[in-house]
């Protein structure tokens, strides 16, 4: 019952086999092999336009180098206060941009509030050197708390960006999960909604380590080869990333993996929602479920083999854990099995609650 994180799984068998298959033979290095080129073209097909694609191998690299590509002197990027790039990347964006700042924007359920975004940008008037200059907006899709931005929401945010002349970055570490939730296409969820640059994640959805920076307008990607190289993220045997993506896209594996993970998350959510030992903290829309449990119940689950993380409640959460309760995050992935879910259902069903439902 491992719901700790979608990066605790290894690699999907189809991806591992592809990697194995491509291991032999010689090919030009540094991203110039036929396989690299083939997969780059595949990205163009998937995004229904000419895009520039840069393979990297960590989501942090994809985010930080995307922001480095957008950065300007004294630059300030705007993102949700809980954004991974701001909170969980050890300062990589700040470091790899040479000192840009990430300004946190509030918003319920992990999505930036439009008004709050406007206000945040407004605190950096044009040419006011003492504050710095806005350089980008970054949103996470699916969000850090398992929700997604709707298409109209993306549209609204990119509208704000356009008015301020700011490019829009999407952290798509869980891009596929959001895509299947919205039942839409990569094009619709990105450049047709005003996204300029995307961190396209494969690692959390079945790859060993495959991420891509996707620049919607290749003309704007001229510096990225140098940015990637000097950050030491250009692989000599780059085709090992390409091979992962090759299998990832084959027969829609990526969408099937994401659908499975989301479905498992929905089943987890159903179990948690109906358990007297737990209540949903908010409605999940991707592969992460956040629930409030009594500390005792959480401890019981862990002692009996369920792995998950406790979590800090967002400041703006409508429902927060009371004393004696704990907010818990449960993550499903391509590797989560129905059997695990059933086992968890049985386990949580075994918890006796003296006074009925936790949130009675």
CB 174 within 8 A of CB 254: no
Judged by CB under 8 A, does residue 307 bind a copy of itself?
yes
Judged by CB under 8 A, does residue 305 bind a copy of itself?
no
Residues 102-131 that bind a copy of itself (CB under 8 A): 127, 129-131
Q: Which residue has the tokens 């700042």?
A: 101
Judged by CB under 8 A, does residue 239 bind a copy of itself?
yes
Judged by CB under 8 A, does residue 138 bind a copy of itself?
no
Which of 121, 335, 348, 358 is in the footprint of a copy of itself by CB under 8 A? 335
Residues 43-62 that bind a copy of itself (CB under 8 A): 56-61
Phi, psi of 59 (to 5 degrees): -65, -35
Q: Residues with Cβ < 8 Å from 239, sequence gap 6 or more?
A: 22, 27, 33, 35, 36
- Indicate the residue among 312 and 350 with the shorter CB distance to a copy of itself: 312
Q: Residues with Cβ < 8 Å from 206, sequence gap 6 or more?
A: 9, 11, 12, 14, 15, 248, 253, 254, 257, 333, 334, 335
Which of 212, 234, 277, 291 is in the footprint of a copy of itself by CB under 8 A? 234
Judged by CB under 8 A, the stretch of 159-167, 180-188, 227-235, 316-324 that binds a copy of itself is 227-235
Judged by CB under 8 A, does residue 98 bind a copy of itself?
yes
Minimal distance, residue 163 CB to a copy of itself, in Å: 19
Which of 38, 50, 115, 226 is in the footprint of a copy of itself by CB under 8 A? 226
Minimal distance, residue 252 CB to a copy of itself, in Å: 20
Judged by CB under 8 A, does residue 344 bind a copy of itself?
no
Residues 243-282 that bind a copy of itself (CB under 8 A): none
Per DSSP bridges, beta strands 75-80 and 101-105 are parallel
Q: Which residue has the tokens 């998937």?
A: 46
CB 54 within 8 A of CB 36: no
Judged by CB under 8 A, does residue 79 bind a copy of itself?
no
List the Cα angle 242/144/313 in 5-degree steps. Answer: 155
- Indicate the residue among 191 and 200 with the shorter CB distance to a copy of itself: 200
CB 121 within 8 A of CB 165: no
Which of 174, 233, 260, 329 is in the footprint of a copy of itself by CB under 8 A? 233
Residues 186-205 that bind a copy of itself (CB under 8 A): 203-204
CB 230 within 8 A of CB 4: no
Q: At what angle do helices 239-249 and 34-47 cross, to 10 degrees?
A: 40
Judged by CB under 8 A, does residue 38 bind a copy of itself?
no
């Amino acid at each position: 019952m491992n719901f700790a994180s979608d990066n605790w799984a290894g690699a999907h068998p189809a991806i591992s086999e592809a990697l194995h298959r491509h291991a032999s033979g010689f090919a030009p290095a540094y991203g110039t092999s036929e396989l690299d080129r083939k997969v780059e073209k595949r990205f163009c097909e998937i995004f229904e336009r000419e895009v520039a694609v840069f393979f990297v191998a960590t989501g942090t690299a994809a985010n930080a180098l995307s922001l480095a590509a957008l950065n300007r002197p004294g630059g300030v990027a705007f993102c949700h206060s809980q954004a991974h790039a701001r909170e969980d990347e050890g300062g990589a964006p700040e470091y790899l941009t040479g000192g840009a700042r990430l300004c946190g924007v509030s918003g319920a359920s992990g999505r930036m509030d439009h008004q709050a975004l406007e206000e945040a940008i407004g605190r950096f008037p044009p040419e006011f050197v003492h504050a710095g200059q806005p350089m980008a907006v970054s949103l996470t899709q699916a969000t850090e708390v398992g929700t997604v931005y709707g298409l109209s929401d993306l549209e609204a945010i990119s509208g704000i960006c356009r008015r301020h002349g700011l490019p829009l970055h999407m952290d798509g570490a869980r891009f596929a999960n959001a895509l299947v939730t919205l039942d839409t296409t990569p094009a619709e969820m990105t450049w047709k909604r005003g996204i300029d640059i995307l961190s396209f994640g494969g690692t959390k959805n079945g790859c060993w380590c495959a991420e891509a920076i996707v620049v919607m307008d290749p003309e704007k990607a001229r510096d990225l080869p140098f940015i990637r190289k000097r950050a030491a993220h250009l692989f000599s045997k780059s085709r090992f990333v390409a091979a992962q993506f090759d299998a990832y896209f084959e027969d829609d594996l990526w969408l099937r993996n994401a659908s499975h993970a989301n479905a498992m998350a929905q089943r987890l959510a159903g179990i948690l929602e109906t358990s007297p030992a737990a209540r949903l903290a908010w409605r999940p829309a991707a592969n992460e479920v956040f629930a409030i449990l009594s500390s005792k119940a959480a401890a019981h689950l862990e002692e009996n083999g369920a792995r998950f993380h406790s979590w800090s409640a967002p400041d703006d959460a409508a429902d927060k854990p009371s004393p004696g309760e704990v907010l818990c995050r449960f993550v499903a992935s391509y590797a989560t099995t129905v059997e695990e879910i059933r086992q968890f259902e049985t386990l949580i069903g075994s918890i006796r609650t003296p006074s009925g439902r936790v949130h009675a």
